[in-house]
């Protein structure tokens, strides 16, 4: 279930109450006597089955409530109520599979900001991966994948493509276009320093390191794994399965590939440099395509749910 707190302009209060009370997947509708101050309006609270949350919010937005008032969402972990069971039964589908589009938009908006923290995480992840490549350490490579924040902007691009949000696409693209070159440059500089100080061998040979060989040798399974990860990542983001998202982060070698580009450039190993660049490009493109297709399919299901809701005669505007 999802809890909504709505601040409604006075002239829309009765319409909003009728809308909520007329929807079978909504319960616990409460109109407070005390008025909100900023923004001014009537405070209405209710609970709605997660499957229909975006549909109900769309009805409220059709009244223009979000322009003059506000709509706040909170997740409800436990509900003990026969009325709640009936409301969830009325809403088609399973709560675990439901997509609350407003949540997806909020998450992606937060994760695509080109901030100092984002760039620092990109650099740190690449540096950890570089050491993992040199030491042939799977533990360090996995650690670098978890630290890397690049999935956020990729997911932002998927959302932008499906919802045709140009501004979000630009912000996501800029974050990736700045983040990856900075991470590669930092790895290149660090590797040159390691060479100059004798911390790493001057004649480092990647053919003797199995992890480096995998990173610089993309094949069909590169595309296959990245596509699976892109699908799983978008499902985890849209359905709030954070545990699954961690699995995605450690399954695709975007950060290690970027780090290996810097390492190979420092050693003048242009063959493996090209292979690592291809690995990064394939992974990025596969995740983007798979994530977009997954999100588009979920969007189609939402449109069908929305039409069903309208045909049931919910009071709109």
> What digits encode the pLDDT tens for the residues 14-66?
999 999 998 888 999 999 989 999 899 999 999 998 888 899 999 999 999 99
Q: Is residue 313 part of a domain?
A: no
- Give the count of beta carbons closer than 10 Å to the beta carbon of residue 224: 11
pLDDT at residue 316, rounded to an integer: 42
Q: State which of 98, 131, 148 marks the end of a domain.
A: 98
Q: Is residue 202 part of a domain?
A: yes
- Render the burial of 2-28: b for 16+ CB within 10 Å, e for the rest: bbbbbbbbeebbebbbebbeebbbbbb
Q: State which of 75, 98, 121 marks the end of a domain.
A: 98
Task: Select from 265, 206, 256, 269 the least CA-distant residue to 226.
Answer: 256
**Shared-domain flag, residues 9 and 145:** no
pLDDT at residue 69, rounded to an integer: 92
pLDDT at residue 241, rounded to an integer: 60
The answer to whether the beta carbons of residues 90 and 24 sit under 8 Å apart is yes
**Shared-domain flag, residues 113 and 259:** yes
Q: Which domain holds residue 47?
A: 2-98
pLDDT band at 246 (very low <50, low <70, confident <90, very high): low
**Shared-domain flag, residues 81 and 118:** no
Q: Is residue 255 part of a domain?
A: yes
Number of domains in the chain: 2
For residues 117-131, average pLDDT: 94
**Shared-domain flag, residues 84 and 156:** no
- Per the document, the length of the chain is 317
What residue has token string 């480096």? 212
**Shared-domain flag, residues 82 and 229:** no
Task: Select from 127, 157, 154, 126 the least CA-distant residue to 253.
Answer: 126
Q: Is residue 173 part of a domain?
A: yes
- Residues with Cβ < 8 Å from 58, sequence gap 6 or more? 306
Q: Is residue 317 part of a domain?
A: no
pLDDT at residue 198, rounded to an integer: 85
pTM (2 decimals)? 0.81
Q: How many CA atoms lie within 13 A of 288 on its CB side?
A: 18
CATH number for the domain that contains residue 14: 3.30.70.2170
**Shared-domain flag, residues 77 and 115:** no
User: How far, CA to CA in Å, does 76 sit from each of 3, 16, 49, 118?
Assistant: 6, 22, 10, 30
- Residue-wise pLDDT tens digits, 276-311: 999 999 999 999 999 999 999 988 888 888 887 777
Q: State which of 98, 133, 151 marks the end of a domain.
A: 98
**Shared-domain flag, residues 128 and 29:** no
**Shared-domain flag, residues 196 and 269:** yes
pLDDT at residue 250, rounded to an integer: 56
Could you give the maximum distance between any two Cα atoms of the chain, in Å?
A: 76
**Shared-domain flag, residues 122 and 93:** no
Q: Is residue 308 part of a domain?
A: no
CA distance 234 to 21: 33
Q: Is residue 309 part of a domain?
A: no
**Shared-domain flag, residues 74 and 174:** no
**Shared-domain flag, residues 86 and 39:** yes
**Shared-domain flag, residues 77 and 213:** no
**pLDDT at residue 85 is higher than 60:** yes
Q: Is residue 316 part of a domain?
A: no
């Amino acid at each position: 279930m999802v809890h909504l707190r709505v601040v409604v302009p006075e002239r829309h209060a009765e319409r909003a109450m009728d809308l909520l009370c007329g929807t079978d997947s909504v319960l616990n509708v409460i109109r407070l006597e005390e008025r909100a101050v900023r923004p001014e309006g009537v405070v209405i609270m209710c609970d709605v089955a997660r499957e229909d949350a975006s549909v109900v919010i769309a009805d409220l937005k059709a009244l223009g409530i979000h322009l003059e008032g506000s709509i706040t969402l909170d997740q409800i972990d436990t509900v003990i109520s026969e009325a709640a069971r009936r409301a969830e039964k009325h809403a088609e589908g399973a709560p675990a599979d439901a997509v609350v589009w407003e949540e997806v938009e909020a998450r992606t908006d937060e994760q695509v900001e080109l901030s100092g923290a984002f760039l620092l995480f990109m650099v740190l992840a690449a540096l950890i991966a570089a050491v993992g490549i040199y030491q042939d350490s799977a533990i360090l490579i996995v650690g670098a994948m978890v630290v890397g924040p690049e999935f956020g902007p990729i997911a932002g691009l998927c959302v932008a493509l499906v919802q045709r949000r140009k501004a979000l696409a630009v912000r996501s693209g800029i974050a990736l276009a700045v983040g990856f070159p900075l991470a590669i440059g930092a790895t290149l500089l660090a590797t040159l320093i390691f060479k100059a100080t004798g911390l790493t061998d001057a004649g480092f040979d990647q053919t003797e390191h199995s992890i480096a060989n995998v990173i610089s040798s993309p094949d069909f399974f590169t595309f296959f794994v990245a596509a699976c990860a892109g699908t799983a990542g978008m499902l985890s983001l849209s359905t709030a399965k954070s545990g699954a998202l961690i699995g995605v982060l450690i399954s695709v070698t975007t950060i290690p590939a970027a780090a290996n580009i810097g390492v190979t450039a420092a050693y003048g190993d242009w063959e493996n440099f090209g292979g690592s660049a291809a690995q990064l490009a394939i992974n990025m493109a596969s995740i983007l395509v798979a994530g977009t297709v997954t999100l588009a399919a979920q969007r189609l299901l939402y449109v069908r749910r929305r039409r069903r809701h309208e045909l049931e005669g919910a009071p709109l505007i």
